[in-house]
Every structure is written in structure tokens, then in C-alpha cells.
Structure 1
Amino acid sequence: MKIVIIGAGMAGLTAGIALKKFGHEVAIYEQTEKILPVGAAISLWSNGVKCMNYLGLTEQIKRLGGQMNDLAYIDGHSGDTMTAFSLAPLVKEVGQKPYPVSRAELQNMLMDEFGREDIHLGKRMTQLIQQDDSVQVKFADGTEISTPLLIGADGTHSITRTYVLGEQVSRRYAGYVNWNGLVKASNNVAPLEQWTTFVGEGKRVSVMPVADNRFYFFFDVPLSVGLENNRNTYKSDLKGYFEGWCPQVQYLIDQMDEQTTNRVEIHDIEPFLKFYKGSVVILGDAAHSTTPDIGQGGCQAMEDAVYLARSLQVNTLGIEDALQRYQDKRNERTKEMVLRARKRCDVTHMKDDAVTQAWYDSLKKEKGQHIMQGIINNIVGNVLD
């Protein structure tokens, strides 16, 4: 079957690879002239890695992934360790190591695996119309295409979602701003194979190891939405927000490159359960835009892609039947992930001072089991369990 995907991000590329493996003829249309990753890196938890394994990309992901063997929380002011433990029990429980990876490197790998010749850039969709057994798509450059199945992987600002739902939904500001990037890994910040998070005042500073001796870093600060965004003041801004924090955090700020650092106001979208209309279906952020607080956004997009491809392959009562089964399998799980991330966001970023302080206090008593069980709960129940 000929299939068109709108959007060449992680969701669209993963779906394209999966569908090609089942013999479909797939083309991806992307509105930008040049594909650039959104964010510096992504934490691929074990369920996301299993999706990559399923698509035959095991070795590619291992090469891109950092060795994240341990986890620690550090008091951001004193630099004292609140809790630290090995992730080995988690890996044994779920059967796969997690891999933090550079977004740019992951996206390039996925484009190579899909086939760049089938990715059409500079194609901004302006209209889609269902006509009998096909979907007509119009682009801003005046071109038109027709396809039996249209997959919307066009992100948090999805046009396809508006078509499926019959209305445009609003994004919800989660209450904090995130700065993220890549730096050379250094023991002056944290152990090289450890996911380390400094916490205090509802703020977070975190580093994860990625390939080639680098740390993926991010800073979270609860702030009002719509503040000035001046790349040239990122370091001084963060020095102000984290004044009095421990030397490790100050060293990290000094090492970051303002010109390659991203600043993002974090939003999500209220969960909904309708993922398709006729022969048009959505996945990834178009279907369930979430905050990054449990690291499941990309992983859920990959689960979507694998299950959608499998549903189209094994169900033979027609496209809409397969899309209905995909929707019914995925919508409740992704809704739960959005709400879990929102709840974790509120605790981490001090929506309620007492709740966040209670969490800080609990970290000092944590041996690892509670935190790992929370992560395991996000991983299990995926399409490949």
C-alpha cells in the first residue's frame, strides 16, 4: 500500500521504517527545508530501545547510546548525595538497558535507515480532504498528492490533529523553562556513567551520558511564560537562577556553549482518545504531547509507530478497522503517560512547596527500589512486552 507520512521527526521516521519493513511504499513530507532536531538529546528508556531492536536497529542504537549504569540525586546547594544506586536491577527486570542518545545523531540514523530519497522537504501541508478511499493533500508550494492512508506525525502543533478532532486544541504551559545541550563529560560535574540530578527550590540540573564522552545536560527553572529569550545571556541567566548552588553546577554552566544550547518553555496538551478519522491517523506528539518529566515522549512515539505498522499488517478488515485497533491499543496508555509526566512535573518543580519538600526528604531515605519501580511502571505495558 502507498502511505504518506506528514512530518520527518522521530515519530514519522520510526513509523516509516516499520511500514517499509512490512512491504509498504512510504513517502514522508516535511515542511522544513532542513531537518533540525528539537532538543539536544533524548533518554531512550528500555521500551523505546526495544522498539528500535524490533526494527533491526540494535547495534545502531548501542553505538549512539551512553552507558548509564547508575542514578543519583544531589542536593543542589550543598553538593551532598541524597541517594545513589545502580540501575542493574531495573535492567534485569525489564530485559533491556536504556540509552540516552543525541537527538541529531538519532534522527540522522533514522533518516539513513528510512531512505533519504523518500523524504520530501519544504512541503508544508495546508489542506487535507478525505475523498472516498483516498486522502487528498495540498501543500503550500501548490503541489497535491493522493494517498490511501495519511499518517500525521507533525508534532505538537499538528494540523493533522486538528482534522482528526475537528477542532484546534490548546497547549498547556507546564510552569517551567528548560535549557538543554551537550558538553564534554567531566568528573567535575558527575561520574561519567551516572544519570545525576541536582535538585533544590523546585529547580533541576541534570546530566546523562551519551556516546563519545559527552553529557546531555538540562536546567529546569519554574518561570512565567513569555519571558525574553536572549541566547547571548543564557550563562548569566543561569548563573543568576542557580546562585549559591554547588561547584558542580557552576562548572557545568561555565562549560556550556550558549550558541548550541536550546531554551524551551515546556507545554503539554490535555489527553484525548481519538487518534484517527477515516483514513487519517495521528501518532507521537500529534496524538499525545507531553512534558519530558518521565522521559517517555519519544518512547511512546516509537511504540505508536511499531503498533500502527503491526495493526495494518495483521488486521485485514480494512484500513479503518486497523486504525480503530491501533487507537484502542494506544490511547489509554499514552493518556496515562501524559498524566504521570504532569504529576511528576508538579512535584519536581514545586507547584506545592510542602509536596516538593516531602519529596526532597524522601530522597535522603531512598535506596533505589521506589525510584526504579516508578521507571519500570512506565516501561512495562509497551507493545513488545
Structure 2
Amino acid sequence: MEIGILGGGIAGLSVALALHKQGYSPRIYERRAVPATMGAGVTLWPNASFVLGELGLLQDIEAIGGRPLTMRRQDAAGNALGGLDIGLLDRTMGYPTYTVLRRHLQEVLLDHAARAGIPVEFGRRAVAIELDAHGRAVAHFENGTSICPDLLIGADGRMESVARKFVAGDNRPIYQGFVNWIGVAQGPHALVDDISIQDFWGAGERFGCVAIRPDLVYWAAAQARPLNEATPTAGMHKKEVENLFAQWPEPVSNIIRATPENAIRLIAVHDLEPLHTWSRANVLLVGDAAHAPLPTSGQGACQALEDAWHLARCLDGASGGLEEIFQAFATIRGPKTTRLAEQGRFFARELFATDPETCRIRNERAKASDPVRDVQVLAAGWGQGLPMPGGADSTSAKEGGFSNLYRIE
């Protein structure tokens, strides 16, 4: 079976690697002229590490990633709001958590694709998909070429997905009321005291920083604001974010100062409405093209990796045609990813509340959270559908797999 994949990001590359392990020969078409360097970093929670282990990548990830054992929450004045025992979560789920720069994860995926002989064609921007006379999808590229594989996988992201437009008829992202400045800080000396995740909550503002090493930290600073104010003056990102968080507890200011101006990027944060179907004809959506949660879910990259693992098994186990495969895949993946997207929105609404009383109640609830129960709920929700500890279809999983926790990806 000829398989074409639109998109060479985390979803497209991991799907290609998973399918290659099952004996298929996929080909990737990436719109960018060079490998993507967008984004700061990602936290690969135990469910992602399970998939990376299945793909044979975990040793490479260990070499480039940090191993956080705790997540600490504080308010904007430095008062403790509880946290998460990541070490306990890892032991409960049976796999480690890693923090990595997104570009380093991309390099590992590309390296393994090259080793496997998976072709990755850059500069192939898809502009449209249409059905031919036999009802099979044809993808047309900006350079005038076209492809008509037996299976066309849309892994082309959340913002301009040609595959999603073909499947759903619409792919308009939805602005969720806040912006993120993202950056990577690296200094000659330690920027943080330990390898941990630190999350600071204000009123309509948030700062999260994730250590890979004490001297290498990626971060996201966020503020609630209307969309028409989501694009500040060019070249002013660092000054704006420095001023906004100047009075917040350390290491916030230290991390911002250690970040070059050209390494800071502003994102108006969007997500997508959950779809009722992820396929049309011989086209199937995966990753952000299918389900694009907010960063407050902490699961964007993790769920892209899960898509890869599940799709390979659906293809391997199907006795019928693509319709059967697509239905099996959507039945497995739809409920979990929809729940994660909904929870991400709910958390964002609470996290970026500006009313002082609402923020006080939110903070008190976080402080009162049971840390052991939090781990159990996360393990059940994130492990659901995977053959790993905590992955049973439990009550906690059905509740959403979350507690009073807010994460940055």
C-alpha cells in the first residue's frame, strides 16, 4: 500500500516510523524548506515515553532530555500552591517523564526516519486535495506536482491544514483569549536550582519554566488579552515580557534576561473544535490536524505520538479496507483527545481569570489538592487505551484524567 504523509512534524514523523516498523513504506511531504525549528520545548509524559520506547527512540530521548521529578506551583507573590510528584507519576505509569527542546526531538525523529530509509521531501507545500474520478484523494502541491497514494495521512498542523479542510470542510482555528511568549534560555551558569517544572499563576497571567539542565530552560509566559492586541510591536517581545513579569518571583526575571531577543516568539493561542469524523475517502487526520489541544492540556505532542502507535496497530489488525481502519482508529482516539481538548479549555478559562476572587478560589483549590490522588487521576487519564499501568478504563480516566493541575507543554 502506497502511503503519503502531509507534514513532517512530530505527528507525521512518528506515524511514519510506526508504520515503517509494521512493514509499510510511507513517504513524508513537508511544506517547509528545512526541518521545523518552531516552538520551545515539550514535556514527554510517561504515555509519550511508552510510545517512544515502542519506536526504539527512548535511549536517544534520554540522551537529550532532562528528567524532572517534581512540578511546583506558586502564585505571583511566590506563595506555594502545591504541585505534582512526577517521580511518583513515573513509577505509577511505569515509564519516565522527559523534558526536551522541540528542535532536538525533531532531530531525533528525523535521524531515525533517515536510518529507516523513510523519504522526507521538504518544500512540498500542499495547496489542495480533491477527489479523482475513482473517488480517491489527490493532493496538489504549490510547485505543480500531485500525489495520489492509497492512503493519505494529514499531519499538517492546526493553523493551515489542507487535509483538515478536505475532511471537515473548514479548518478555522479558534482564538482562546490569551497569548504565549515562548523562549529558550541558556546561560554560562545555572538558571534554576534543579531539574523541575515551575508554574507561576497570576490574575490573567502565567509564567511556566521547564528545566532540561540547570543551565538550559524553556519557558512560556502568558497573558489574557483580546485578539486585536495579540501582535505587539516587532522587536519588543523581550522588553514587553520583562516589564510584565518584573515583580514576579525568581527565577522568572533571570530566565527572561538569559533569553536572546531573537529566541522569543509571541503566539496568539488557538485550538480547534473537536471533529465528528477524522477521515474522508482515503484521507485520515492525525496530530494537531485532527485534535489540537491548548498548551494547558500538556498533551499535544504526547497525543500525536499516541496517534502513531494506535494507527499502526489499526492498520496491522484490520481485515477489511480503509473505512474499517479509519473507524477503528477514530473509535479509539476520538473520546480521549476530545476530553483532553475540553479540559485544556476549561483550565485555560480558570487559569487566565482576571477576577481576584475567582483567582483566590482557584489557588485555594490547588493548595487543597491531594497529591497522591492527583497522580492516580493523571495516570488513569493519560494511560487510558495504552498497555501500561494506569491505562485501564477506570472512573478516573472517564472523568478526564486531570485534577486541579495546569501544565505547560
Normalising by the smaller structure, the TM-score range is: over 0.9
2:310 corresponds to which residue? 307
SS at match of 1:174: strand
> Displaced runs of 4+ in structure 1, greater than 6 A?
185-188
* 1:272 is the counterpart of 2:275: yes
Change (3 A) 1:61 1:5: same
Q: Deviation of residue 135 (structure 1)?
A: 3.0
Distance 1:195 1:256 in 2: 18
SS at match of 1:206: strand
Aligned-partner residue type, residue 218 of structure 1: A
Q: Deviation of residue 24 (structure 1)?
A: 0.8
1:54 corresponds to which residue? 54
**11-20 or 109-118, which moves further after superposition?**
109-118
2:85 corresponds to which residue? 86
User: Is the contact made by 2:129 and 2:162 (CA closer than 8 Å) also made in structure 1?
Assistant: no
* 1:68 is the counterpart of 2:68: yes
1:191 corresponds to which residue? 193
User: Is the contact made by 1:186 and 1:192 (CA closer than 8 Å) also made in structure 2?
Assistant: no
Q: Deviation of residue 193 (structure 1)?
A: 1.5
1:105 corresponds to which residue? 104
Aligned-partner residue type, residue 74 of structure 1: Q
Instruction: Report Cα offsets for 1:163-202 as digits up to 9, x if no partner.
Output: 112x213222111111112113799754322211122223
Residues 1-385 of structure 1: matches in 2 within 5 Å? Answer: 1-77=1-77, 79-84=78-83, 86-115=85-114, 118-131=119-132, 132=134, 134-156=136-158, 157-165=160-168, 167-184=169-186, 190-210=192-212, 213-227=215-229, 228-350=231-353, 353-366=356-369, 368-385=371-388
SS at match of 2:248: coil
Structure 2 gap segments, 5+ residues each: 389-409
Change (3 A) 1:163 1:74: same
How many positions carry a matched residue from both structures? Answer: 383
Q: Deviation of residue 31 (structure 1)?
A: 1.3
Distance 2:246 2:254 in 1: 12
Q: Deviation of residue 207 (structure 1)?
A: 1.3
Scaled by the length of structure 1, the TM-score of the pair is 0.93
Distance 1:303 1:335 in 2: 14
Q: Deviation of residue 128 (structure 1)?
A: 2.1
SS at match of 1:232: coil
Scaled by the length of structure 2, the TM-score of the pair is 0.88
Change (3 A) 1:337 1:187: farther
Distance 1:364 1:272 in 2: 35
Distance 1:252 1:359 in 2: 26
Structure 1 gap segments, 5+ residues each: none
**212-221 or 42-51, which moves further after superposition?**
212-221
Instruction: Report Cα offsets for 1:269-308 as digits up to 9, x if no partner.
Output: 1112201112110001100111110211111111111111
User: Is the contact made by 1:207 and 1:216 (CA closer than 8 Å) also made in structure 2?
Assistant: yes
2:393 corresponds to which residue? none
Q: Deviation of residue 249 (structure 1)?
A: 1.9
Change (3 A) 1:44 1:352: farther
Change (3 A) 1:204 1:377: farther
Q: Deviation of residue 351 (structure 1)?
A: 6.0
Change (3 A) 1:338 1:351: farther
Q: Deviation of residue 317 (structure 1)?
A: 0.8
Aligned-partner residue type, residue 119 of structure 1: V
SS at match of 2:297: coil
User: Is the contact made by 1:346 and 1:352 (CA closer than 8 Å) also made in structure 2?
Assistant: no
Q: Deviation of residue 211 (structure 1)?
A: 5.2
User: Is the contact made by 1:188 and 1:248 (CA closer than 8 Å) also made in structure 2?
Assistant: no
SS at match of 1:3: strand
User: Is the contact made by 1:40 and 1:103 (CA closer than 8 Å) also made in structure 2?
Assistant: yes
Question: What RMSD over aligned residues (CA atoms) do the two structures have, in Å?
Answer: 2.2
Distance 1:284 1:201 in 2: 31
Change (3 A) 1:374 1:204: farther
